[in-house]
Structure 1
Amino acid sequence: MKKHIYKYDVIRIVLTVLVVIGHANYYNAGNAYGGIYIADQMSAAGIADTAFHGFAEQIKQLIYTFHMPAFFALSGTLFYSQVKNGRFSSVTEVVKNKISRLVVPFVLVYLFWNTPIKIISGYYSQSENIWKDILMQMLIPTNMYLWYLEALFFDFVLAYLLCKYAKKMWMINTTSFVVYLAVCFLERATVVTTLFGNPLRYLLWFVFGMNLNKYGKVAKNYLKRFEWGGGENCSLRCFGSLAIMD
C-alpha cells in the first residue's frame, strides 16, 4: 500500500485558505466581458475605503506573489511521482483522466453555478451579446477564478509529453524555461491574453515542482550526513538537521 504523504495535504489546505483570503478582498472584478465595480460605486456615493481593507489589500498582494506558482508546483510534484510509478501509460490516458477531474468540473461549475450568479448580480448588464461573452470568458478566463482548472489541464498534458519525449530533466527544465521567456516576451510585445488560463506561463512552475520531487530526496539524504555537534561545521550540521525535519 502506498504511503500517504500528509504534508502535501497540509500545503494544499494552507494554499486554499490563502486563495480564499485573497479573493475575499476584491471591490472590483471585471474584464472585457463584464464585471462588478463596487469601488466605483463607493466613490460615486462618497463612501471612503476603510483602513482595514487597505491593510487587507497589502496582504492580498503578498499572497498573490507566490500562491498560484505554489499550486502549480505542488501539482507538478504529485504528478511526477505518479509518472515515475507508472500511473499513466499514454498521453491519451492522461487526457481522459484530467478531463474527468478538471475539465468536466470546470464546465459544470462555470455554467451552472458561476454563470447564473453573474447574471443575477448584473455582471453582464452591459453586455451586447451575453452568451457570446459567457463563451469567450470560458476560452479567455481573465479575472475568473476557474482559470486554474483550464491551465492545469494543459500543463498536465504538456508535462507528460515532456517526460515522454525530452526524458532528461535538464531538457525538460530548459524547454519550460524557454517557453516561459517566450510567453513573457509575447505578453509585453502584444496584447496580453490568457487563452485557456495561460498554461504556458505556468508550465515553468509545474516543472519546478517536478524537480522538487526528483531532487528533494537527494538533498534530504545529503543533509542527513550532517549531525548535531561542535566543530567548524556546527552551523552546517544544525542547518542540515533543521532542513530534514518533517
Structure 2
Amino acid sequence: MRCKFLLAALSLLVFAGTAWGEEVSVDFCIDGDMDQLCDEEFTAYVELDGLTDKNLLEVAFEDELFIDNWDDYLWAVTIEGYGYDLLPQFDGPEDVYLAEGDEVYIWYTGWMWYSSCEEGSQSQDSTESDGSQGSDPGWSSDSGTGSGSGTGTGPGWNPGSGSSGGTGTIPAGSAEVKAVSSWLSGYTVEVDGVPIGIDGTGSDVLDGVYTFYVAGNQQHKIKVDHPEFWKSWEEFFISGRRYTADIDVPGRIVPSG
C-alpha cells in the first residue's frame, strides 16, 4: 500500500514538473541587415512558463550567439507574428506564447551596422549645422531639400515633390517613407504626434500616395489620420533607406530600397 502511494506521488510530481517546465523547440531566424534574409539560423529549446520576448532575445544572443552585451546596442527588433517591435528596455518584457516548431524572426539585430549608425549621426549633425532641415517638427519644400530656419531637426517633413518618391537622393541623415493606399486619400500624416502634411495638398497629388522623410537611425511613430480611418506604426528607420507604409494591408512598414 505504501509503495503504491509513493509511486502515485512520484507520478504526480513528474507530471507537475513536466507541465511546469515544458520546453518547445523554436526556430530562430536573425536578419542582421534588414534584407529579409536570415543571416543567422538555429533551433533552440525554450521553456514556456513565463516566456517573454526578452527571454527569446537572451536565448538568441547569449545562449546561441554568445553576445553578452547585446542590449547595449540592439536598437529595434520584431518577433514575427507577435507584434513586439520595441525592445524590452523600451517597453518592458512582453509575454510570448509559442508552440513546437514556431519561428522567431528577429528582423534587425544591430551589431552589423553599429559603426555605420555612428557615422550616420555625424552626417546628420553636419546637416543640422547649416539649418537645412529646420527647427520645426515638419516642413515642406518644392525643391525636396529646403533651406530650413533653425539648427535642429524635426521628426519628419514632406519633400514637396509630389507622389513619385523613390527616385531622388535621400537627404543625409534621413530615411524616405512612402505611405500608399488604393482607397484612402486626403489623409493627414503625423510623425511622432506632429502633423507634417496632407495627401493631395500643395504640390502633392491627391492619389493616396504620400512621400516624406524622417530623421534616420531613430525610432518614429508614423500615423495616417482621416475622418473615416486611421492607422499607426512604430518603426526604426535607417538613414539612406526607403520604406513603404501600406495603409491597405496589416503589417509593418517595410524596406523598399
Q: TM-score, normalised by structure 2?
A: 0.22
Structure with larger Rg: 2
Q: Which has the higher strand share?
A: 2
Q: TM-score, normalised by structure 1?
A: 0.23
Q: Which has the higher helix share?
A: 1
